Structure 1
Amino acid sequence: REERLFARVVIDASGTWATPGPAGGNGLAALGEKAAADRITYRVPDLKNPAVRARYAGKRTAVIGSGASAFTALAYLADLAKSGDGASTKGVWILRRGISGSTFGGGEADQLPARGALGLAAKAAVDEGHADAVTGFRTEAIERDADGRLVLVGEDGRRLDPVDEVIVLTGFRPDLSFLDELRLSLDERLQAPVALAPLIDPNQHSCGTVYPHGHRELSHPEQGVYLVGMKSYGRAPTFLAMTGYEQVRSVAAAIAGDLASADRVELTLPETGVCGGAGLFDAPDAQEADGGCCAPAPQLVQLGAPAAVGTTAERAPAGGCCGS
């Protein structure tokens, strides 16, 4: 049975979980990626599940990605390699950029301790020899060899040694297909609301240097429609859950008619850790290579007028290199 529901306001908080990014280094699916789908997963494998554990135990697995999900997968594979049933398990970490001081995040200094621990676990996996890092590699194709194993081919022509499995953890993208008939104003690069896009651009911001924002930046020409949460960030990987909570509070206040509360955005963000995206982050500058400079103390921001939202004076971290 089908029916239509009519509403004064629509808040789309559907997330991006169902639309993972592909393996291709150019943002497109790698050549042969679909044909190799039986050996590729786009989720961190649950190695507590016996069937999943058997799939990776004793195998050589490529992990494509550089964020928290990739850290988790590398740590899980390392744990499997240390166990009795997965002694020959090996990870191959595929990175589009090089390894620098900030690759593994804030570590013990990360203001989100669990995220810092993930980075340290991934570093340990590499340092202990359970995973080999392949840097500066942008996947162009995935081929099968004569034994049915997968060979990753880079845009520069490099061919990596065969692997048994591939875990693609390259972020997520919003599903906009069911919003086709709505008048949305989206940035052509990030697929985020136009007013929000420059505030979250991964070429300029990490998670903690994203400027405070609320209902005004999240609105669209279609009156009463808001995209919130991870979906509001489009392709940008700089989203933190606490940002989404504040987005929803602001939007709910605006719907209730309390614009004073809706325009007052109060948010404290941890500025250490890894959550940079593509673009400039693929070629870290000298400061980032030396360990990064994006670790000033978090600060409480109270904005009384929407005109102040997004101004550098209100949010730029003191001495930071990633917030302006």
Structure 2
Amino acid sequence: MGRRRRVVVAGGAGFLGGHLCARLLADGYAVVCVDNFSTGRVDNVAELVDTPGFELLEHDIVAGVPVTGFLDAVVNLACPASPQDYLRMPIETLRAASAGTLALLELAKATGARFVQASTSEVYGDPLVHPQREDYWGNVNPIGPRAVYDEGKRFGEAACAAFRREHGADCGIVRIFNTYGPGMRTDDGRLIPNLVTQALAGGPLTIHGTGEQTRSLCYVTDTVDGLVRMIEGDHPGPVNIGNATELTVLQIARVVQDLIGVRAPLVRLPAMADDPRTRKPDIRLAERVLGWRPRTDLREGLRRTIRHFADRRDPAVADRGTRTR
């Protein structure tokens, strides 16, 4: 037998990173999880710590990446992804997205590893093209409060392209659309954790803006499957990874209410600055080059997510969550 394939997952103790580490270990990889725990949590990888082939390194990639030995892939998930987090840590977000990405690219170049950049649908900004295809350059406010994340991720894509052109680096870019599922923080601040925790508590449910803005929700195991296919492939990207089913925020809120069985009032809050009005990926490229498409039905994915949040609340609320229909 040959040696075990070895992957660095930067940001591996985050919501998405924890799921990716678990999937890679299950697929036979050795995994080096690197995280500074600014937004990641030990809980996301606690069950993996004693798994053969798993290493956990608490470290800030902005200071370089002290990983030695052979590597087959480097995956960059190391950046605050929730608006609540990157608005609280704007400079740290910019550093992770720039200096951190460059450090990881240097590691991949030095080891000859495949580099996969987890970019985002936010590179499209408030899009003027619908649905969003990979050849669309986007409509981003470069000086707005969200720019630390949006432009940080655009920098990451530019860095990948530059390393590929100048050094022949094996880089792949995935643009991840809204991902949800078990493992999200209750205080994450994003749509699904907010709606589910509020509904489990009996409401009210808060909606920013009119609620007519649209989102595309992809269950976490489907997103992870797309990432793994990108790791194991050779396409440079960018490739959209997301669910092409488009729903308004109000429609999503009503599905959550229905599954939990509450009729709490909806409370509208002011719209967030530069919040995109529409979001829907064109996933034909992912279907063609990765053989990938999402498989999990929204209601089933939300049931699993609701159970996860309910299990972390008091028994009475937990019982409400397990009665989802």
TM-score bucket of the superposed structures, by smaller chain: 0.3 to 0.5
Is the radius of gyration larger for structure 1 or structure 2? 1
Normalization by structure 1: what TM-score? 0.32
Normalization by structure 2: what TM-score? 0.32
Greater RCO (Cα-Cα under 8 Å, separation 6 or more): 1
